[in-house]
Amino acid sequence: MKYVFIGLRIVLALVFLAAGGAKLAGAEMMVGTFQALGLGEWFRYLTGALEVGAAILLWAPGRQLLASAVLLATMVGAVLAHLFILGPSLVPALVLGILCATVAYHYKEQSLFFK
């Protein structure tokens, strides 16, 4: 199982480095998405920074729970945004959210509440 979770962390890190990097770089699709949300450019930058930072934290010793929880929170927000504002195509955010939740659950021993 160890290698399964290493693989999941690799997938999540690559996906969120790419997605967060696109947000920070101002990719046209990302700019349009956040304009449709009506939350301003600051929110795109914040989301991009959280995604890139958490993707890096997935590899910091003892920080996998924190990183996956931050990524899970961004995916919950993405699913809600697709449900109520943006329209269909919430499946990618939902799948990534499930993967983040799986990694978070696996590393639950890093929480103060489970010690």
Structure tokens at 86: 């943006």
How far is Cα of residue 2 from the mean position of the Cα atoms in its chain?
Answer: 21
pLDDT value of position 88: 83
pLDDT tens-place string over residues 17-58: 999 999 999 999 999 999 999 998 999 999 999 999 999 999
- Count how many residues are written for the chain: 115
User: Is residue 115 very low, low, confident or very high in pLDDT (cuts 50, 70, 90)?
Assistant: low
CA distance 44 to 1: 35
What is the pTM for the complete model shown?
0.93
Angle (CA) 60 64 70, round 5°: 110
